[in-house]
């Protein structure tokens, strides 16, 4: 009876995969686009054909985006209030659009980073 020598799989480097996803590229090859549109994920990488559908981020990107944007906007708002004490209409004019813009800019990057991390850690969701 022959025994196979089994080696554990080599660990996938998670940081490059996370950074590739953060930039919106395939976590495997780093060349193919992860999102064909704003945050709609491709079924597979158009360059290397790595399947991407098992790696779904669900609601996590929205939670992380709220966390990040809140930690940027609230301190800035407090500094402006303490330094200049502008009227409330100035606060609404500045912070509401800035919050919306930051959220829209950060959301796809956070989603890509989470998908890249899931790919590197081999976290898959099978339906």
- The 10s digit of each residue's pLDDT in 21-46 is 999 999 999 999 999 999 999 999 99
Rg for the chain, CA atoms, rounded: 20
- The 10s digit of each residue's pLDDT in 78-91 is 999 999 999 999 99
Residue 4: CB atoms within 10 Å? 5
- The 10s digit of each residue's pLDDT in 56-72 is 888 999 999 999 999 99
CA distances from 110 to 8, 16, 107 (A): 30, 15, 5
Closest CA to 29 of 7, 54, 46: 46
CA distances from 43 to 33, 35, 40, 70, 74 (A): 11, 9, 9, 32, 37
pTM, two decimal places = 0.86
pLDDT of 9 strictly over 60: no
């Amino acid at each position: 009876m022959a025994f196979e020598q089994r080696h554990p799989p080599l660990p996938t480097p998670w940081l490059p995969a996370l950074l590739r996803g953060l930039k919106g590229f395939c976590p495997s090859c780093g060349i193919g686009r992860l999102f064909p549109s704003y945050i709609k994920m491709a079924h597979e990488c158009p360059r290397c054909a790595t399947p991407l559908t098992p790696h779904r981020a669900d609601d996590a990107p929205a939670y992380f985006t709220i966390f990040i944007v809140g930690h940027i906007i609230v301190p800035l708002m407090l500094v402006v209030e303490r330094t200049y004490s502008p009227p409330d209409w100035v606060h609404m004019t500045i912070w509401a659009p800035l919050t919306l813009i930051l959220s829209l800019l950060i959301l796809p990057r956070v989603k890509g980073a989470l998908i890249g991390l899931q790919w590197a850690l081999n976290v898959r969701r099978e339906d």
